[in-house]
Chains A and B, each alone.
Chain A
Amino acid sequence: MSSTPAAPARTPLRDMLEGMPPLATLGPVIALTIACAFFASQSDRFLTGQNFSLILQQVMVVGVLAIGQTLVILTAGIDLSCGMVMALGTIVMTKFTVDYGINAYLAIFCGLAVCAAFGFLNGALVTYVKLPPFIVTLGTLNIAFAITQIYSGSQTISGLPAALEFFGSTFKLGQTAVSYGTVLMLAMFLVTWYVLRETAPGRHVYALGNNPEATRLMGIKTNRQLIAIYTLAGFIYGIAGLLLVARTGVGDPNAGQTDNLDSITAVVLGGISLFGGRGIILGALIGAVIVGVFRNGLTLMGVASVYQILITGILVIVAVATDQLSRRKG
């Protein structure tokens, strides 16, 4: 303001520093670059198009889950149920086609609808019953898991029609075989990123995570908004389920159990704050790829998989610590 002692003098260095994205944004990119450089020096098979295409195929399910997870986390919530909701979706899609002979597209639609309904349930409980998202989704995690087991009789469903496996199939990009599922994941990330950045409803997601009371007082219907976000997240888990079915070729009632927490890992590694309202969704893509790169690279080096889990755990703590420390400074 005019009567303040002038803000610190404007220098080129200061301008440059202020223009730079915060550490939480750059961190994941730096971590990914260092990891890639390291694994490239350890194995000449690492830095090939085919290998990267493989990594992306391995992370596409967790990546899509992480899109829904990011939306929920941006509102200062968390969704522990995502993997189980996805598993229920896959069972609906596969059982409807294989056991009931329903048209595959209709079955996919039903699977997506069931997932969206679970998202709606999460959102309604968080918004209207005002329960903490952690507890609500812990409950729906178990409910979705149990329904999946009961409905499928704990049986894996196989013999799927081609339509359900489309996203697992590949096309040639030069020498590299790329799966359609990978393309769908990347497209979903780009669209969500653009919407969050450039549209009014997108910015309101950040506002809600930043200061729900101020957002409400500015005339935004925050209850409706929160339920819509959870419902959309559920729908997105359904799409992740479609990719999972396509990738594995079966409906597996025991799927999704590790993907649940892996999606949160991806979001956190991507520099998105668990306190809500901060972070760029493309970070979650990078976070998912970081996990994929470590698993792939360590496998190529012949390191046992338990060490991969160990390293993922360490990475998560480093990522959250960075977020916390950068917030404390501010």
Chain B
Amino acid sequence: MSTPTPVLQARGLVKRYGQVTALDGADFDLLPGEILAVIGDNGAGKSTLIKALSGALIPDEGEIKLDGKPVKFDGPSDARRQGIETVYQDLAVAPAMSIAENLFLGREIRKPGVLGSLFRLLDKKKMMAEAVAHMQDLKIGIRSMKQAVETLSGGQRQGVAVARSAAFARHVVILDEPTAALGVKEGNMVLDLIRRVRDKGLPVILISHNMPHVFEIADRIHIARLGKRAVVVNPKKISMSDTVAVMTGAKRPDELPAEALA
């Protein structure tokens, strides 16, 4: 069986902050149509890795490939333009604005002709219709797209943020702790949504501290440790305690049984 070309790949990423080396030659592979969980202890370089992949910082060394082609991101908007959408924890939405406005923030649909191009008038009807269609597509049952986001529950808000990234991502969706502040029911709701995003064909990178969630949803688990990729494991073939042991350094990756690796 030949391995498919990774959608997003990194080799030997290095990022130093003064004396501190946050990334020390980290590798990364995201395969088509998978949910890849990225876990790691504090200081393992997990968030630095994600920032490098989402364009939020520029690595000192190393190479990133998108669909097999080398890329460089000038910033988050550049990564976004190239098809990588990121949902940042707690930073995602403008609470007093409507769901439709949040979905299209920074990418508004404007009226045709000079009204849109010169006067920047919004095509609110079209935005509303597309928002409804998109939310239905992801089976997010919110009654009115005109509702302010602050009137939604935490899970629904996260749903709006995920839906926005899924709507515009062409290659990858990155989710930073999407279930962190949610209750059990709402957390499961968001997990369902993430599965639907994958089933639409978009690969998902999921950063999470919640091991049960990671094991429930991930196809593969990338374990970051000491600024490197320690190992990638298969959640169906490894126990949660072994995973945590590798993450914290209590167990070396080469102590794992061969079938646990992915």
Give A residues with C-beta under 8 Å from B.
Answer: 1-7, 10, 18, 198-201, 203-204, 206-207, 210-211, 213-215, 217-220, 277-278, 330
A211-B94, A330-B150 known; A4 vs B141 contact (CB < 8 Å): yes
Give a binary string over B121-152; 1 marks a CB under 8 Å from any A CB, 0 the rest. Answer: 11010000000000000011111100100110
B113 close to chain A: CB less than 8 A = no
Give B144-174 interface residues, CB cut-off 8 Å to A.
144, 147, 150-151, 153, 155-156, 159
The one of B94, B120, B121, B139 that contacts A2, using a Cβ cutoff of 8 Å: B139
Q: Is the Cβ of A206 less than 8 Å from the Cβ of B121? A: no
Q: Is the CB of A199 within 8 A of B120?
A: yes
- Tally of contact residues, B, Cβ under 8 A: 43
Judge whether B140 and A217 touch: CB under 8 Å: no
Docked complex Cα distance between A18 and B159 (Å)? 21
What 0/1 pattern do residues 66 to 109 of B give for CB contact below 8 A with A? 00000000001100110000101001111111000100011110
Contact B91 A217 (CB under 8 A): yes
Q: Is the CB of A199 within 8 A of B121?
A: yes
Instruction: Determine the chain A residues whose CB is within 8 A of the CB of B156 once the complex forms.
Output: 1, 4
CB neighbours of A210 from chain B (8 A): 94-97
CB closest chain-B residue, reference A330: B150
| Bound: A201/B93 CA distance, A | 17
Residues of B within 8 Å of A10, CB to CB, are 143
Q: A179 to chain B: closest CB distance in Å?
A: 29
12 contacts between A and B (CB under 8 A): A3-B189, A4-B186, A7-B141, A18-B144, A198-B121, A200-B120, A203-B97, A210-B94, A210-B96, A217-B86, A219-B76, A219-B106
Q: Does B193 contact A (CB under 8 A)?
A: yes
> From residue A196, how far is it (CB to closest CB) to chain B in Å?
11
A123 to chain B, nearest CB (A): 20
Docked complex Cα distance between A4 and B77 (Å) = 33
Contacts of A4 in B (CB 8 A): 141, 153, 155-156, 185-186, 189
* Cβ-defined contact, B94 with A3, below 8 A: no
Residue of B nearest to A206 (CB): B97
Report A-chain residues with C-beta under 8 Å of the C-beta of B209: none
Q: Chain B residues in contact with chain A, CB under 8 A?
A: 76-77, 80-81, 86, 88, 91-97, 101, 105-108, 110, 119-122, 124, 139-144, 147, 150-151, 153, 155-156, 159, 185-186, 188-189, 192-193
Cβ-defined contact, B76 with A217, below 8 A: yes
- Check if A3 sits within 8 Å of B96, measured CB to CB: no
Question: Hey, which chain A residues are within 8 Å of B185, CB to CB?
Answer: 3-5
Asked if residues B122 and A199 are in contact (CB atoms below 8 Å), the reply is: yes
Q: In the complex the two chains form, is B105's CB within 8 Å of A218's CB?
A: yes
Contact check, B110 vs A200: say whether CB atoms are below 8 A apart. yes
Cβ-defined contact, A200 with B96, below 8 A = no
Kindly state the separation between the CA atoms of A207 and B102 in the bound complex, as whole angstroms.
9
* B143 A7 Cβ-Cβ under 8 A: yes
Closest to A199 in B: B120
Q: Could you tell me if A2 and B141 are in contact, using CB atoms closer than 8 angstroms?
A: yes
Contact A1 B189 (CB under 8 A): yes
Query: How many Å lie between the Cα of A7 and that of B97 in the bound state?
Result: 20
User: B93, A211: Cβ atoms under 8 Å?
Assistant: yes
CB-nearest residue of chain A to B92: A214
Whether the pair A201, B120 counts as a contact (CB closer than 8 A) is yes
Q: Does A217 lie within 8 Å of B143, measured CB to CB?
A: no
Contact of A207 among B81, B97, B110, B189 (CB under 8 A): B97
Residues of A within 8 Å of B97, CB to CB, are: 203, 206-207, 210, 277
